[in-house]
């Protein structure tokens, strides 16, 4: 079927998919970024949390998201803006503990902090 009805159906399906993605995610933060560490295999970020400084993996160099995450993390460090990390649900790593094994699906700069 073509026309406005199929466009609306496609738009509704897209909006439902976006809502479902947000509903099945866990946000950690916002936390202040205090350091970045580039290693041969991956990129790590140090975050200041109420529980102390923790390290989180931002991704391996083969992942397409790692370099954009690195750019945002560098911006957060330079401008002293907090970051929020979003993980797929269920996230068993824990928001306030070091986690070298789980890569976030979103890294967001949070200017409200």
Reported confidence tier of residue 11, pLDDT bands at 50, 70, 90 = very low
Residue length of the chain: 113
Question: Whole-model pTM?
Answer: 0.78
Task: Please report, for residues 25, 60, 113, the alpha-carbon distance to residue 22 in angstroms, rounded to integers and kept in the order given.
Answer: 6, 24, 22
What domains, with CATH codes, occur in the chain? 25-110 (2.40.50.110)
Q: What is the pLDDT of residues 21-64, one digit of tens each?
A: 455 899 999 999 999 999 999 999 999 999 899 999 999 999 99
Tokens of 47: 């975050």
């Amino acid at each position: 079927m073509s026309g406005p009805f199929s466009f609306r159906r496609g738009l509704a399906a897209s909006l439902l998919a976006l809502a479902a993605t947000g509903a099945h995610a866990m946000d950690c933060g916002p936390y202040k970024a205090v350091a970045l560490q580039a290693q041969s295999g991956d990129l790590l970020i140090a975050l200041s949390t109420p529980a102390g400084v923790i390290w989180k993996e931002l991704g391996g160099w083969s992942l397409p998201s790692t370099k954009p995450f690195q750019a945002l993390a560098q911006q957060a460090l330079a401008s002293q803006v907090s970051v929020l990390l979003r993980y797929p649900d269920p996230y068993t790593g824990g928001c306030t503990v070091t986690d070298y094994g789980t890569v976030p699906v979103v890294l967001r700069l949070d200017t409200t902090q």
